[in-house]
Copies of this chain bind each other. A is one copy, B any other.
Amino acid sequence: MNIAHVTPVSGNIHEDRAQAIRDTLRDAIVDRRLTPGTKLSEIEVGTLFNVSRTVVRAVLQMLAFEGLVCTERNRGAFVSNPTPEEARQVFASRRLIEPGIINAVIEFMTPDAARKLRAHLSEEIRYQHERGARARRAEIKSSGDFHLILASLAGNAIIEKFMDELVARSSLVIALYGRSGISSCGHSDHAAILDALETGNAEKARELMLHHIDHIEADLDLRVKEGFALKDALAL
């Protein structure tokens, strides 16, 4: 697959190029413009961004660390192709962590925090009503951002980093196993969670969050597709 449609970073005047390239590639993966399994050749990425293989390797290593890229020795780096089992672990991890985030956030639920979440929610809904692939991508990304904003409100950089990784991997999983394509049914869920947060109902907010994650996972088709191509061929 060609990765030429990844827009190279343009006007970064002196900052860390590796970080900028990482962010660009990461966005492309999370936005599903780079589909799982796509090979990320060092020279291809390098020429695309006008850097040497050295910095590309650093970028790919970063992405490998957060599970968005898989590297095979002497074969190169590929956009991760998570197995159903790995997909389950992503959501199991979220079920484990996100209720804890609710607890942490609800303690310091300032009006400002609520405002920030409400503002984001209206953005989500706006994208939802727009048409076109571009709006769809924006909607999906925005949907994940809700969870990231929530995590940031917990005031814990480590947890924020973990959630960053989990949300990104979720996107990948949905890209692979999402059945409806309209798996972003979460806006109403998000609104309900926010309501519970604002009324200080931690118990309910946690409950809603768990259900929300269940919903997302339930929309996936995680049945293993074992050698199906061969069987299919024989069935002909």
Contact = CB atoms under 8 A, between A and B. Distances in A.
A200 B27 CA distance: 43
B67 A65 contact: no
Contacts of A162: 93, 162
A226 interface: no
A46 to B, nearest CB: 16
Copies in the complex: 2
Interface residues of A, number: 29
Contact of A101 (B86, B89, B96, B166): B96
Chain A residues touching B, majority SS? helix
B16 A96 contact: no
A188 B171 CA distance: 42
A229 to B, nearest CB: 28
Nearest to A73: B16
Given A73-B16, A162-B162, A156 B92 contact: yes
A97 interface: yes
A127 to B, nearest CB: 28
Contacts of A89: 156-159
A104 interface: yes
Nearest to A16: B73
A38 interface: no
A96 B61 CA distance: 28
- 4 closest cross-chain pairs (CB), A and B: A96-B100, A93-B158, A65-B65, A89-B156
Interface of A: 16, 54, 57-58, 61-62, 65, 67, 73, 86, 89-90, 92-93, 96-97, 99-101, 103-104, 156-159, 162, 165-166, 169
